[in-house]
Chain A
Amino acid sequence: MSRILGTFAALKRSGCGGFIPFITAGDPDLATTELLLRELAAAGADIIELGVPFSDPVADGEVIQRASDRALRKGVTLRDALTCIAHVKQRIDVPIVLFSYFNPLLRFGEDRLADEAKQAGADAVLVTDLVPEEAQTWTEKLIQHELDPIFLVAPTTSGDRLAQIAKRGRGFIYAVSRAGVTGARDKITRDAEALVKRVRAVSDLPVAVGFGVSTADQVREIWGFADAAVVGSAIVSQIEKLGNSPDLVKHIGKFARSLVAPAS
């Protein structure tokens, strides 16, 4: 069983929902990213998604676009993101998902990536703009290296495709809560719950819901129908606000804890 499946099995045994924060590697800088990863793990993250900055993030809203820009201006690369994982893996045990657009991985080399991501201690790879139809050999390479290929499903995904994607994916299925780019929203739509139900009908894989999740209430709402909630832009926007403040890491830890705190 992969470490990610193990994490979900443990959550299920304890009757808890999972919390999956996302941050961009190198925002505000690589040293801080390492501290943030450790802090998020300490704050109760069950899995962490680490974003590789990309020049043309078409699936992302403005908050993560700007985070990508900040990291790229510092010259942060895929190699740096892997190094970052390797460093923190010596101190934390939380599974890490490498989260990227396809082109940086393609340029790095698919074989080399699978190899080096495994060595660094990553547990899974999610490629935003790589749907299973284009990912055949890629998926095989990851699985050979004991890395979980994570695929997204969306409210627009047809039933047939849903079954196909569930068959190709490993670790968990990432359900996109609504049509749109990443970014905080006031409400989690009914679409998300309906989508999770459709996934459950064709797959035993755990389901995480992301896109637009920004408050503790929303996290709890998602736990009502899915296995985990992904919070990205809300955290990244706090990182943006605090920038190079010495309180950044402490503050993000506090914010993460507030997202998973029991309702008062």
Chain B
Amino acid sequence: MQKLPITESEPDEHGHWGKFGGRYVPETLVAPLEELTKEFMRAREDANFWRELNQLLRDYGGRPTPLFHAQRLSAHAGGAQIYLKREDLLHTGAHKINNAVGQALLARRMSKRRVIAETGAGQHGVATATVCALFGLRCIIYMGAEDVRRQALNVFRMRLLGAEVLTVNAGTRTLKDAINEALRDWVTNVHDTYYLLGSALGPHPYPLMVREFQSVIGREAREQILSASGKLPRALIACVGGGSNSIGLFHPFIADEQVRLIGVEAGGRGDSLGEHAARFHTGAASGGGQIGVLQGTMSYVLQDTNGQIATTHSISAGLDYSAIGPEHAFLHDAGRAEYIWTSDAEALEGFELCAKLEGIIPALETSHAIPPAIRIARDLPRDESIIVNLSGRGDKDVQLVADLQMQ
């Protein structure tokens, strides 16, 4: 494949990054998606919108987040300096709030009083429930039964925040099925309902819009690393489920060709289809590397030879999804970003290492980025740096890890 240098990554007016993205939805949803696109494009050019968003992100969300020099992790790696972008310090404990606040402002502009959202790990559900409480909006969260089980703490948090959590028992009972159910709700209640999608996936304008709201991560990180080390990092490393925290970190660096962009997928417990959630898996029986259409967008999708969407497995609910956001698919094919995977077992090692060496308990999703960060830092000189997006904190996972250690 020819690798072209790319300096920007903008979709066309219909939300296509090359062949990826677009809008593959039932006809009923086209009108609300067009309405949303129009409102988002208007807000994007509106200084007052950004002023209000930035003020909320600062005073309510806790931005800017620090870029922390993880000296003990760096020493452990024995190479480049590792910096952690501390999205875990945000209100509600993950980067998800950046997007939730932005979209809640849009919902308010559009006078939609009923908000629905899907959630995997529960972080997006909690962020959505939080902003709905803040803005006085009715909130309904769809969550797969399997995720309800493994993220019980977040279910309780959402209910405390006044949200209705609806358990989805269809399909694999994880994030994918929660999105299906949210789409079915939206198609039924289009007139008064805002669908607050949590990742950089789904039909246009969601992948673009979520990226725009998450790009604050990369914009801050770029300034912070320049001020801390006087030069750009050699690599950015972030976990990728749908891909919102990673695209948020990557996007402001896309023109900086010397900066490697490395997305870390969930390698799960094995290399065969169904045992992992690595859409760019290269194993012969892995099902990786197939282009398809799922939930409104064209991208790389884990699927069987008949085009049925495959089940996935990951220890982390937030990465347990069969498709990757379309902009990642584009960056992958353009050769601008690289994608690797970390197994469940390695992610647990990253989880413990970060806790013991830095006093930071990361989310299991985030933990996938730690082992590759150490390997990459090891191969670089000490006067270079890399940035890991510490996308979320691990309180929600403590019980799960405790249970695993008991076994």
Contacts and interface: CB of A to CB of B under 8 A. Distances in A.
Nearest to A165: B27
A78 B306 contact: yes
A157 B308 CA distance: 29
A157 B33 CA distance: 11
B24 A130 contact: yes
Contacts, number: 114
A59 B187 contact: yes
Given A103-B292, A104-B308, A58 B303 contact: no
A37 interface: no
A105 B31 contact: no
Contacts of B32: 156
Contacts of B295: 56, 58
Interface centre among B180, B301, B305 (most CB of A within 10 A): B180
B28 A102 contact: no
Nearest to A58: B183
Contacts of A106: 291-293, 307
Interface string B8-49: 000000100000001111111111101000000000000000
Contacts of A131: 23-25, 27, 30
A148 B176 CA distance: 32
B70 interface: no
Interface string A146-169: 000001111111100100010000
A133 B307 contact: no
Interface in A103-121: 103-108
B27 A105 contact: no
Given A72-B308, A181-B188, A102 B293 contact: yes
B171 interface: yes
B331 to A, nearest CB: 21
Interface string B286-298: 0000111111100
B30 A156 contact: yes
A129 interface: yes
A66 to B, nearest CB: 9
Contacts of A83: none
A238 B188 CA distance: 24
22 contacts: A54-B308, A56-B180, A56-B295, A58-B25, A58-B187, A106-B307, A107-B292, A107-B306, A107-B307, A108-B307, A129-B25, A130-B24, A131-B24, A133-B14, A134-B24, A151-B27, A153-B27, A154-B28, A165-B27, A176-B27, A179-B187, A180-B28
Instruction: Kindly list the 8 A-B residue pairs having the minimum CB-CB distance in the complex, ordered from nearest.
Output: A107-B307, A104-B307, A156-B31, A154-B28, A180-B188, A59-B26, A152-B27, A55-B308
Contacts of B183: 58
Given A131-B30, A161-B30, 20 more contacts: A58-B26, A58-B295, A59-B184, A78-B307, A79-B306, A103-B308, A105-B307, A106-B307, A108-B306, A129-B26, A130-B24, A131-B25, A131-B27, A151-B27, A153-B27, A154-B27, A155-B28, A156-B31, A158-B34, A180-B188
Interface residues of B, number: 38
A210 to B, nearest CB: 12
A237 interface: no
A177 to B, nearest CB: 11
A55 B187 contact: no
A104 B224 CA distance: 46
Nearest to A80: B306
B355 interface: no
A65 interface: yes
A41 B162 CA distance: 52
A179 B190 contact: yes
Contacts of B345: none
A32 interface: no
Interface in B79-97: none
B195 to A, nearest CB: 12
Interface residues of A, number: 39
Given A129-B296, A156-B190, A157-B30, A134 B23 contact: yes
A152 B306 contact: no
A212 to B, nearest CB: 11
Nearest to A72: B308
A108 B188 CA distance: 31
Contacts of A134: 22-24
A165 B34 CA distance: 16
A131 B29 CA distance: 10
Interface string B181-204: 001100111110000000000000
A203 interface: no
A61 B26 CA distance: 13
B171 A56 contact: yes
Nearest to A101: B293
A128 interface: yes
B301 A103 contact: yes
Contacts of A154: 26-28, 30-31
A118 to B, nearest CB: 19
Given A78-B307, A157-B27, A103 B184 contact: no
A134 B293 CA distance: 11
A158 B25 CA distance: 16
B360 interface: no
Contacts of A79: 306
A153 to B, nearest CB: 6
B18 to A, nearest CB: 14
Contacts of B184: 58-59, 61, 181
B309 interface: yes
A91 B295 CA distance: 38
A156 B29 CA distance: 8
